[in-house]
Structure 1
């Protein structure tokens, strides 16, 4: 069976580390829930006998509702689906909560803390898509019965493998679902085990024949998994077979357009197209709730950003890591501890919190942010270094 892997979020750090590093699931628990969005984690029943519980992130405005609903579907990280962290899609969720939506982000069967076993159909992209779509359909059914959900105003979004699953879902006539958005959707098989590109095209042809819902697709020019030539083949197969689709092909995005939806800076790319699509399918777009931006860390005059020698507590390996960190993309954050541990995060969601969690996983002493984006936030501390532990990442 070929190994399947899809980058479902921005890769954010490197592992270096000490014996104190925590497993990914434990590290994920260190990240706080987002009170601005009333974030909580619920378990949603799914499966043929409704005996699988899906770990699902829920965001919603204050008040009783009913709220229109967005369901966002995740991709597949390299490695075991069980080790994959809970996806959150904070940037997209924030924009939708501002517009009065509830937002659900379910982890499908066998992923993260969801129940059941992940089913892998190798190069059979039709089977992979339909299998994953089954969980999404169960979430729709569950959500429509909730008193705070407007059962007649639902949209679906999916990124990477979640995009493939969402387009497979578009073959079903689901009450209340008005549109489906596909961001860099697909699934890549590494190695030469099969013609996975051809299998994707064949799958999208079938999904187009059976399509029941309007769809929006967004793919970037420098997507490392699904380049323009393959995207055009998938689009042609879907549309030529009757699929309702609007393809937005945008230019290069940073190092890899595959990560656009999970990036803070991706909002300027996807939001105008999404608002246009929402209006077209009869969904609200006006901002009706205020959601504050996270409070920025104030810059300090402790040192120049590039002054590697000024970073406190770090052993030589840590200073090399800080030098490497300065080449990374924003948003980014670097954290240190008096124990000599460090941690950093690049791109994606909550980089400050992830950097602190990575540092803390390798430290017995408290960690603090040293720099954020392009400036130093550290203020001088009288705390002496306790040891020279090697630091980690998130």
Structure 2
């Protein structure tokens, strides 16, 4: 697809999301601008916010703050909130105040994008990451002023340069952070006009050494739990590099778990921005969230439903839940214990519900019910409904 067309579609998708606010949806989504101050100057940062639609009076939600990687050889404005919308919806469906931001110069955010001015001979990756962290810190401060934000429970989620920037932010003593998800995190020096080498640090060894030093320094003041996820076929930060950085991190006082994931398509660095890649990442993330006492979906809620389903339906339900992404629905025939149907990654929960129901009805030839929406059972139990309808007919 032509890149200009792709950018236009991405922008249209984000603006479409900001109109989603349906009474029976599980989450509300808002496209907004965060008014912030960075180094004494005022900026507007492009943001997408999702949260459960129903809150108790005065209820505050844990914050999941999400940010992107660097543009590399692309124009920073070509990266949009569409890249992060799946993450926002999925965290919102788990009970978070989920906020995705575009840093300065990216998407529709004000200001020039922060580009590294250093060279292979004079590398300054830590300074670059700290400038990125300034934007994220300013966004976190703006979010903390909301009445629905629990600033004592903050999860940072970042990809590539955004992942490393989240680690830099968590190392600041004056910033309230509870945990960090670093997905394919790191940075390296781009060489304009030159093709990428299989080893992006080849011929730039001083930069590689500076990255080592950066992780050592950040770990010394970063004492929150962190999860690092990298694909085995990441062309920029391969397993040997991720393992080296994690070893330095742990030896320098940081807390962290590193997981090297199976190869993802042709480029494992991109799994963060693809829905299929997110489905690979979510099971690992959910386990980490449970360990750290952060909200995630509760498997025990589905015990009653599982008892009413057939073996094949239970297997499909487990796969549906483990995929992790939101805006989805799971339907089964009222009478029958073999078939099941689901629709995921819909524009809205209402759309997912309608698609799953219609798919089930047309394929099975029976009346159907939606038994799960996102990560919540609807309370509809197929066998129980069938028995009730028969009893009513006999009376």
TM-score (norm 2): 0.64
Q: How does 1:315-330 map to 2 (within 5 A)?
A: none
| Other-structure match for 2:158 | 158
- 1:293-330 C-alpha deviation (Å, 9 max, x unpaired): 289xxxxxxxxxxxxxxxxxxxxxxxxxxxxxxxxxxx
Instruction: Return the alpha-carbon distance in structure 2 between the equivalents of residues 248 and 136 of structure 1.
Output: 25
The alignment status of 1:105 with 2:105, answered yes or no, reads no
Paired residue secondary structure (1:29): helix
Higher relative contact order (CA 8 A, sep 6+): 1
Instruction: Return the alpha-carbon distance in structure 2 between the equivalents of residues 87 and 132 of structure 1.
Output: 20
The alignment status of 1:229 with 2:240, answered yes or no, reads yes
| Other-structure match for 1:278 | 289
Deviation at 1:27, TM superposition (A): 4.1
Q: Say whether the 8 Å CA contact 1:197–1:230 is kept in structure 2.
A: no
Q: How does 1:220-259 map to 2 (within 5 A)?
A: 220-259=231-270
Deviation at 1:23, TM superposition (A): 8.7
Q: Say whether the 8 Å CA contact 1:76–1:161 is kept in structure 2.
A: yes
The alignment status of 1:40 with 2:26, answered yes or no, reads no
**1:92 pairs with 87, 95, 101, which one?**
87
From the two aligned structures, give the one with the greater helix fraction: 2
- 1:6-42 C-alpha deviation (Å, 9 max, x unpaired): xxxxxxx455xxxxx6693x44332221626432222
- 1:151-195 C-alpha deviation (Å, 9 max, x unpaired): 222100000111010111121135542101100001132347733
Report the CA distance shift for 1:285/1:174 in structure 2 as closer, same or farther (over 3 A).
farther
The alignment status of 1:28 with 2:1, answered yes or no, reads no
Deviation at 1:198, TM superposition (A): 2.6
Larger displacement relative to structure 2 (97-106 or 86-95): 86-95
Paired residue secondary structure (2:31): strand
Q: Say whether the 8 Å CA contact 2:290–2:296 is kept in structure 1.
A: yes
| Other-structure match for 1:177 | 177
Report the CA distance shift for 1:291/1:81 in structure 2 as closer, same or farther (over 3 A).
closer
**1:204 pairs with 204, 207, 215, which one?**
215
TM-score (norm 1): 0.64
Instruction: Return the alpha-carbon distance in structure 1 between the equivalents of residues 264 and 137 of structure 2.
Output: 31
Paired residue secondary structure (1:272): helix
Instruction: Return the alpha-carbon distance in structure 1 between the equivalents of residues 275 and 208 of structure 2.
Output: 30
Instruction: Return the alpha-carbon distance in structure 2 between the equivalents of residues 200 and 254 of structure 1.
Output: 27
- C-alpha RMSD of the superposition: 2.8
Aligned length: 280
Q: Say whether the 8 Å CA contact 1:74–1:87 is kept in structure 2.
A: no
**1:293 pairs with 328, 341, 346, which one?**
328
Instruction: Return the alpha-carbon distance in structure 2 between the equivalents of residues 228 and 84 of structure 1.
Output: 26
- 1:123-167 C-alpha deviation (Å, 9 max, x unpaired): 411011111111111122111120111222210000011101011
Q: Which runs of 5+ in 1 are unaligned?
A: 1-12, 16-20, 296-348, 352-394
Report the CA distance shift for 1:29/1:73 in structure 2 as closer, same or farther (over 3 A).
closer
Report the CA distance shift for 1:350/1:187 in structure 2 as closer, same or farther (over 3 A).
farther
- 1:247-289 C-alpha deviation (Å, 9 max, x unpaired): 111221121211112222223432222122222333122359x
